[in-house]
Amino acid sequence: MAITEKQRNRMYTEFVKFLGEETTQAMLSHFPARDADQPVSRDQVDVLLARMEARVVDRLTNRMLTVAGIGLAAITALLAAFT
């Protein structure tokens, strides 16, 4: 969860006293300032990868079935033409 701006300012004010400005800024740069900046979790990556894999498999299956259907139609037409 991202820290709020109020929490961030409070942390900055308190840590600067002990760590100095440069170190505090470096440390706080590792904490997202907003939800949009929040690092993605492993679970979120797994869900997205599963969705993408399902889409790829679906598309490949549809294309393979289409190619197989066209191939079967072509073979049937050739057999009909030569028999």
What pLDDT is stored for residue 83 in this prediction?
81
Q: Name every residue whose Cβ is closer than 8 Å to that of residue 83 and which is 6 or more positions away in sequence.
A: none
Based on the structure, what is the number of domains in the chain?
Answer: 2
Q: What is the distance between the alpha carbons of residues 14 and 64, in angstroms, rounded to a whole number? A: 63
Whether 5 and 22 map to the same domain: the answer is yes
Q: Supply the pTM of this predicted model.
A: 0.44
What's 38-81 look like in SS3?
CCCCHHHHHHHHHHHHHHHHHHHHHHHHHHHHHHHHHHHHHHHH
What average pLDDT does the structure give for the chain? Answer: 87
Whether 45 and 21 map to the same domain: the answer is no
Q: What is the distance between the alpha carbons of residues 26 and 46, in angstroms, rounded to a whole number? A: 30
DSSP letter for 35, please.
G
Whether 73 and 58 map to the same domain: the answer is yes
Whether 45 and 83 map to the same domain: the answer is yes
What residue numbers bound the domain in which 77 lies?
40-83
Please give the residue that has the higher pLDDT: either 36 or 53: 53
Whether 34 and 55 map to the same domain: the answer is no
pLDDT at residue 37 is higher than 60: no
Please give the residue that has the higher pLDDT: either 2 or 16: 16
pLDDT at residue 76 is higher than 90: yes
